[in-house]
Structure 1
Amino acid sequence: MPEMIFRVRWPDETESDCYSPSLVVRDHLVVGTDYPVADFLARAEAALTEASARVQARYGFACSRALGQLQVVREICGRFADAGGARVRVLSFH
């Protein structure tokens, strides 16, 4: 199963590499797009949950790394939940 790293820039201008065990992220996020924090979180949740489910279907167990990445994304997005107009930019896929 091909893995993917997607790089994002958070509203505070910091950047992070995020892990997915599947290329399914491309179905939910677009490089160069700015997403409102809540929208980015919903898309990341859908992508990483689907990616973990694909691992489950193939290998018989969920992908703990994808679920751990999702938890990190939730925590970071939570920091900006009250910041009106805050956006997350998807910088690249690797």
Structure 2
Amino acid sequence: MPETYVHIQWPDGRDETIYSPSSVIRTYFEPGTELNLPDFEQRCATALQHASRRVRETYGYECTAAMAEKHRMAAAIQAIRRTHPGPDESTVRILTIH
């Protein structure tokens, strides 16, 4: 269950890295794509929940790091919505996955 990192660029130009305990996150994101904020939000939450379930299936417990990352991303998305004009039309760019 290799750890995977998704590098993104927010609508305001900041780069950030999302941590996943499982490579299953690769099924939700593709490098070079741009997603509108609601689509990114939904995919991110679903991907991190899926990754946490994979950990549970393997080790018998949920991954608290994946759930913390899910909450961190939700907070970052809410900050974009508060500060960026037209947030739901804004795009998040998937830069790399490794």
1:10 alignment counterpart: 10
Could you list the per-position Cα deviations for residues 47-81 of structure 1 after superposition, in whole angstroms to 9, with x for gaps in the alignment? 10000000011101110111111111101111223
Deviation (angstroms), 1:6: 0.6
TM-score for the superposition, normalised by structure 1:
0.94
Partners of 1:38 and 1:81 within 8 A in 2: no
Q: Distance in 2 between matches of 1:90 and 1:40?
A: 10
1:86 alignment counterpart: 90
Structure whose residues are more often helix by fraction: 2
Number of corresponding residues:
94
Q: State whether structure 2 residue 35 is matched by structure 1 residue 35.
A: yes
Percent identity of paired positions between Structure 1 and Structure 2: 34
- For 1:71-82, list aligned pairs within 5 A: 71-81=71-81
1:44 alignment counterpart: 44
Q: 4+ runs of 1 displaced by more than 3 Å?
A: none
Partner SS state of residue 81, structure 2: coil
**RMSD (Å) for aligned C-alpha atoms:** 1.1
For structure 2, list consecutive stretches of 5 or more residues without a partner in the other structure: none
TM-score for the superposition, normalised by structure 2:
0.90
